[in-house]
Structure 1
């Protein structure tokens, strides 16, 4: 028994004639007649009789049609499911992001995403770059956004943007009133609030100061999160170098944002699993993230 035979049978029942069924299925009436004859041989009973010149289903055909219709309803559900998956992926997207993304542009990214996929469930997980990488490599999360990348099995990485770090100072600090970029020697004698040792971005900042004859920083405080660092700066506890996205979102904390010279890079990477094919939802999230980062430059 072939699908085309059953499809022709169903079309005749619904339209009332072989001619109308042929139009419905974009084929010829003789082809419909042939398919019904084949189906009758497979089933072992007659499907139609002619009464007063009109085609009428037999009692066996009516009983058979009930099961055929249930099968077609199920098939339509399968088609609808496939269509939804094609348009919206699996329907649940898990995103892992470092705090400098999760606490700044990610709400806007999710808003744009929700406008395109209003019925998709999204879970946002926040962690440092190493944790984000582990979540993606293990397929716990579908998309990762990290600030630096260490080699890890099961994970692909792609640099999506590089921003230039800025100096943040207390609003009443002397450097806040200087009409120029802050230079490395300006840090002499200043309390510098640093990211934790081992952080990839911290390594870039340390390398910048290490390129001079002396390290001009005096470090009493270390903190994992740049938002907390900006808050500490706003309380007059020291100055720092942070991601410009974070600095922009923390101006209400009483800080002044100054350009830095020479510059230090703050990069972002999109992470994906090498084990699973990237879903439609994940690819859309990649695109929105790129656009949002460009918009904030």
Structure 2
């Protein structure tokens, strides 16, 4: 038996109207088409669907029992069709994000808030990881998209550079370096410098750049995150080399910290990470529009404060 959706729809409507002419009018088809569809359905199920009694059409007991199941199937199909429409239009589904913590200070929450207004039925999940863990989450399909600092050395993922940012030196207000327009590696030699260790992508870039430029012999306090570095500056442990994403915490004003650009400049690049082994989810493609707006706003803020920030997407 191969009942079609069209047969079920005609049968349900005819069971309500009990009139071929009215059914045909509502479906905008011809009367012979309705009669033929009902006859074909009877041949498929193997029993009579309607009988005429006293000039009126009535459902047979078998048809009455069948109608309950037909209503259920058509209701499920309507739900399925609505669900598919939501997924197609991006109003439903899921979006799982894995990111380094500093992106959650401003850029990601702003993008997520705008995205949620237009896609309120999309289930959002946002988790914080180290750069290496971000890559692992995406490679193992636990996250739809990831955000981490470059370089990313992993064959199972692809990377789209997003932002190129100038590294800054965070110093307490009133510190001698706070009065300078820029800070050189030699300026740091008399300081204790808080810096991300070389096991992290930002730390690796910093260490390689400082070693290559030469003249950097300062005492170093290693950490694996940039946000704690600002808290260390606040408590007088030293000055910190950080990327501008930390500035969106607004702790510079609250903690009386000044950020001064390095000279010659050292740059950090933030990237979007996605799997090479499966198509980019539609939810990620849609989210990218909101992310671009958030990135653009952040860059404008940083450039307005004299810190070089460049969008790469």
TM-score normalised according to structure 1 size: 0.89
Partner of 2:302: none
Q: Is contact 2:186-2:215 (8 Å) kept?
A: no
**Aligned counterparts of 1:276 and 1:61: Cα–Cα separation in 2:** 47
Secondary structure in 1 aligned to 2:262?
A: strand
Structure 2 CA distance for aligned equivalents of residues 38 and 80 of structure 1:
29
TM-superposed CA distance for 1:110, in Å, is 2.6
Over 3 Å counting, the alpha-carbon distance change for 1:74 and 1:222 in structure 2 is same
Structure 2: gaps of 5 or more residues: 300-313
Which residue does the alignment assign to 2:289?
287
In the aligned structure 1, how far is the partner of 2:124 from the partner of 2:40?
Answer: 50
Aligned to 2:221: 221
Q: How many residues align?
A: 295
Q: Which runs of 5+ in 1 are unaligned?
A: none
Aligned to 1:32: 34
Tell whether the 8 Å contact from 2:92 to 2:119 is kept in structure 1 after alignment: no
For residues 162-200 of structure 1, the C-alpha deviation after alignment (integer angstroms, 9 at most, x for no partner) is: 12222211111112123x233333223222111112222
Q: Does the residue aligned with 1:222 lie in a helix, a strand or coil?
A: strand
Aligned residue for 1:234?
234
Does residue 1:115 correspond to 2:138, yes or no? Answer: no
Aligned residue for 2:47, secondary structure, equals: coil
Task: Assess if the C-alpha contact under 8 Å between 1:146 and 1:270 holds in 2.
Answer: yes
| More displaced stretch, 188-197 vs 37-46 | 37-46
How far has the Cα of 1:242 moved from its partner?
A: 0.9
Q: State the 1:147 CA deviation.
A: 0.7
Match of 2:311 in 1: none
After TM superposition, the score normalised by the length of structure 2 is 0.85
Conserved? CA contact 1:149–1:157, under 8 Å: no
Q: CA separation in 2, counterparts of 1:143 and 1:296? A: 20
Other-structure match for 2:187:
186
Distance 1:169 1:93 in 2: 38
Tell me, yes or no, if the aligned pair for 2:90 and 2:286 is still in contact at 8 Å: no
Stretch deviating more after TM superposition (217-226 or 206-215)? 206-215
Distance in 2 (CA, whole Å) between partners of 1:21 and 1:41 is 20
CA contact (8 A) 1:133 1:155 kept: yes
* Rounded Cα–Cα distance in structure 2 between residues aligned with 1:205 and 1:266: 8
Counterpart secondary structure, 1:172: coil
